[in-house]
Amino acid sequence: MTEYLAVDGGTIAYEVAGSGPLIVLAHGMGDSRAAYSAVIPPLVAAGYRVAAVDLRGCGESSADWPAWSRTAIAGDLLAVIRHLGGPAVLVGHSISGGAATVAAAQEPSLVTAVVELAPFTRKQSLHLGDLRVKRFRKGMLRLLGTGLFGSVPMWRSYLDVAYPGAKPAHWAERLDRIDSLLREPGRMKALQGMGRSAPTDAGAQLGNVQSPVLVVMATLDPDWADPNAEGSAIVDALPSGLGRLEMIEGAGHYPHDQVPDEVVSLVLAFLRSVAARA
């Protein structure tokens, strides 16, 4: 059941399942909370209350917003956590990985741990050698085309690259849902706005994070020429001992949808380690 929370600038849609410690799931740009449909049941079965959020401009949240930065998204996520009686474990994918970093740094009492899935959390630099990596080159060109032309077909083409190898069983349904949402007024504008938002605000907050952080990258993610190096750089920028990196073999930019069982296993093991340290 969709619920709605009014925040400064618009309305955030979310749904809650289960009972127990709170986990808040935040998706990437051009998507919706449906991206987490495969991970919610096992997290609930493991004894967690799980809230999946539609980012500003996405899913069933209102479409028109004044800002698309990670800091702005972090404010929405913190508002949801407060409303649901946090604290919470905050899971963020892609742009929301950066937003989770900002949220954890700004309100450490509300964020007990952070999971960043294929996160854009640091300033990105393009090196000439990166273009020799075919999957990176293909993904970048499709992302650029989507941002420049606001093309839904170009975004669908990017998603085909971002899910290398075997597609999930619900692939056709998922693509159709994304396609339908992005054709609603304001939804593509949201994607373009997020795409233009640099992750420098999140990078500046990495050293201020106080809660444990799990960074999950996948070896075939087309958004980086070297996903392992990007994940390692995020961990290195965190205070010593707070971050850890886990790599998933053979997946792309959406490991939580492509290989949800592996992601859930990593998240639950991480949360057990966090609880043991508490």
Calculate mean pLDDT across residues 210-239.
Answer: 97
Q: Indicate the average pLDDT of the chain.
A: 96
Q: Is the pLDDT of residue 273 over 90?
A: yes
Kindly report, residue by residue over 65-100, the tens digit of the pLDDT: 999 999 999 999 999 999 999 899 999 999 999 999
Cis, bond preceding 87 (omega within 30 deg of 0): yes
The parent domain of residue 229 ranges over 3-277
In the beta sheet, which residues pair with residue 53?
14, 26
Kindly report, residue by residue over 156-187, the tens digit of the pLDDT: 999 999 999 989 999 999 999 999 999 999 99
| Among 251, 244, 234, 252, residue whose Cα is nearest residue 270 | 244
pLDDT at 73: 98
3-state secondary structure (DSSP) of residue 19? coil
The amino acid at 97? G
CA angle 192, 139, 175 (to 5 degrees): 70
Q: Is the pLDDT of residue 274 over 80?
A: yes
Residue 142's pLDDT band (boundaries 50, 70, 90)? very high
pLDDT at 218: 98
User: For the chain, how many structural domains are there in total?
Assistant: 1
Check which CATH number belongs to the domain holding 251 and give it: 3.40.50.1820
The dihedral built from the CA positions of residue 255, 32, 176 and 154, taken in this order, carries a sign that is negative
Q: Are 53 and 77 in contact (CB under 8 A)?
A: yes
Q: Are 116 and 212 in contact (CB under 8 A)?
A: no
pTM, two decimal places: 0.96
Following CA atoms 66, 69, 71, 72 in sequence, which dihedral angle do they give, to the nearest 10 degrees? 30
pLDDT at 38: 96
